[in-house]
Amino acid sequence: MVRCSDRALLAALEERGPARATQLAAELDAHPITVTQRCDALQSRGHVRRISTDVFGITEDGRAYLASIE
């Protein structure tokens, strides 16, 4: 099981591009609500943007943050 960490979420979004919370949850072996909550937290810091109700994408700030934590 992959933890639903900031790093894991941002890396998945960096690799695949914008994705639905359910797709990310399946990839990260996490619950969709957990993914949505983590994405909302990342959005509040400017690392992720909500594209639609359940689709998230990484921002330039998110890419920089990901590079700093890898």
Instruction: Return the ∠ at Cα 16 (arms to 10 and 19), rounded to 5°.
Output: 80
Largest Cα separation within the chain, whole Å, is 29
pTM confidence score: 0.90
pLDDT of residue 3: 67
Strand partners, 49: 57
Q: Which domains occur in the chain, in start order?
A: 6-56 (1.10.10)
Question: Per residue in 2-40, pLDDT tens?
Answer: 568 999 999 999 999 999 999 999 999 999 999 999 999
Amino acid identity, position 69: I
**Residue 31, token pair as written in the block:** 């619950």
Whether residue 63 has pLDDT greater than 60:
yes
Whether residue 1 has pLDDT greater than 60:
no
pLDDT of residue 47: 98
